[in-house]
Amino acid sequence: MNLESTYVVAGEVSPHTITRSLQALLPTRSRTLGRQRYTVLDTFDGRVRRAGARLTYATADGHSVMSWKASGTGSELAVRLPRPARFAWEFPDCALYRVLAPVIGPRRLLPQAEAEESGSLLDVLDDRGKTVARVRVESGHARLPQTRGAWQPLPTVVTLEGLRGYSEQFQRLVPVVESRPGITHCPEGVEGLIRRHIGASEPHDVSSVRLDLAAGVRADVGARQIHLALLDVMQANQPGLQANLDSEFLHDFRVAVRRTRSLLGQIRLVFAEDVVRHFAGEFSWLGKLTGPPRDLDVLVLTLRERSRALPIEGLDGLVTLLEKTQHEQHARLVDGLQSERFARLTKEWRGFLTQPISVQPAAPNARRRLAQVISERAWQLSRKIGRRAAALDEATAPEAVHDLRVQAKKLRYLVDVAPRSRGDLDVKRVLVALKSLQRVLGDFNDAHVQQQRFMEYRIGHLAEQARERAEQLRADVIDEARRFSGRAVRSACRRAFKR
């Protein structure tokens, strides 16, 4: 149940007037809230806000106090640190960390706004003098943290907070607070209010490919739209990647590159052969450029998780060594992204994708419907994956399992961009089975790669754990492979793709 409501007070009504008005209606005990400055934190893509929470830090006695508050609960988690944490792994093992870590994953916490507030706190009392709710009446100003520009005044905000076990009292207090003159409900909450008043840009997800393809779109037209959307994802992630804000920028950039290269080969005979050959080669170069730093990112993240779960002597030193190598690999990657070759690639690629469509294209599939071209290739791939999945067993080499994973990715990339109706149940059935297969294949491949990496760094016990995990996962791989190659999924593939 929601135990918190936020309200904005009209400018002509002073905080003092609102406070005295509430005190006249409710039995309260009043306290002064001294001026406090704090910084609102979130990830680049707004994961904290999407989780319905608010994360802040403030300075107290030379320490950074980081606080997490879930919207509508009235409860707060806090931890004192020597300095503000930037990533989840910089928090100690505490209640705040256990709530925060699954939300933000490997993303960096970035300052979103600086605010300064003061006001009054009213403890609402029952007939026995016990606090059953709290009302905060606060006003102040805020600014963008990056520019440290002029402070922008904030309207007076009234926050009604319920306490656990007193939900009925909270519900009775809501109409009382809302009856005060000049008060308006603020569904965006305090953080949203601050962001709006200082003109902060909204956090946005730069990992998603945004497409709205018409069902009957021509293949050459639709393919260009797909590749333009992927190029937009690459370029949206490039600044964060080059600034090395966190590993997710490289991950999303690399996925867009891999999808581009794959779809150049899978959406066949839509572009001229020389165009496909040239750009496939260039994106292959880009993929190889991003591969080593991404492998290091994954390894370091894995080691951090292991060291937190089970501290191992010498592991922190290895992470420090790998972080140094990460910086070196990142510098090489940035050099590549700042090279003439990369600039030429993105310019020529966008130029090709945005040039006028030929009325009489030479490519055989260019004028056909994109959905038909994709369905034909998806049908071929699904049969190929089904045969390989059916042949997979306990003795299948890890390299063959990896190859099956590559083929599954190709099919997934095709299905994800294919124009289709929302009610296509067969495509949904195929996607469910394909995602399950991809998940276990990915976990198996990660364990196998980690085993090799740990052996390279002579961490025998971790290499053995990775080997054991890979063997345990093999049973899951076989189960999902048999499911995908089974009659139900084969029939769904036939209905979805062989039209």
Q: How many domains does the chain have?
A: 3
94 part of a folded domain = yes
- Domain end, chosen from 306, 328, 359, is at 359
- The pTM (predicted TM-score) of the whole model is 0.90
- Pair 324, 355 in one domain: yes
Q: What does each C-alpha distance from 425 to 322, 335, 388, 428 come to in angstroms?
A: 46, 46, 25, 5
- Pair 237, 167 in one domain: no
- Pair 260, 176 in one domain: no
- Pair 253, 346 in one domain: yes
Percent of the chain with pLDDT over 90: 77
- Domain end, chosen from 198, 219, 249, is at 198
- Pair 241, 177 in one domain: no
Return the structure tokens found at 42.
């979130």
CA distance 54 to 201: 17
Q: What is the pLDDT of residues 244-260, one digit of tens each?
A: 999 999 999 999 999 99
Q: Count the Cβ atoms, other than its own, within 10 Å of residue 452.
A: 12
- Side-chain half-sphere CA neighbours of 181 within 13 A: 7
Domain that includes residue 298, residue range: 207-359
Higher pLDDT, 181 or 283: 283
- Pair 220, 192 in one domain: no
Cβ atoms of 442 and 492 within 8 Å: the answer is no
Q: What is the pLDDT of residues 451-499, one digit of tens each?
A: 998 898 888 888 998 999 999 999 999 999 999 999 999 999 999 998 6
- Pair 40, 159 in one domain: yes
Residue 73's closest CA among 155, 165, 156?
A: 165
| pLDDT of residue 310 exceeding 80 | no
413 part of a folded domain = yes
Residue 253's closest CA among 262, 265, 263, 240?
A: 240
364 part of a folded domain = no
Cβ atoms of 154 and 162 within 8 Å: the answer is no
- Pair 392, 353 in one domain: no
Q: What are the counts of helices (DSSP H) followed by strands (DSSP E) for the chain?
A: 15, 9
- Domain end, chosen from 325, 359, 393, is at 359
Residues 6+ apart with CB under 8 A from 472: none
| pLDDT of residue 74 exceeding 60 | no
CA distance 62 to 78: 16
Residue 174: CATH number of its domain:
2.40.320
Residue 422: CATH number of its domain:
1.40.20.10
- Pair 130, 57 in one domain: yes
Residues 6+ apart with CB under 8 A from 438: 405, 408, 409, 412
Residue 145's closest CA among 118, 115, 107, 188?
A: 115
CA distance 305 to 284: 31
33 part of a folded domain = yes
**Residues paired with 39 in a beta bridge:** 57, 114
- Pair 340, 396 in one domain: no
- Pair 31, 100 in one domain: yes
Return the structure tokens found at 375.
């369905």
Give me the torsion for CA of 79, 81, 86, 91, rounded to 10°. -60
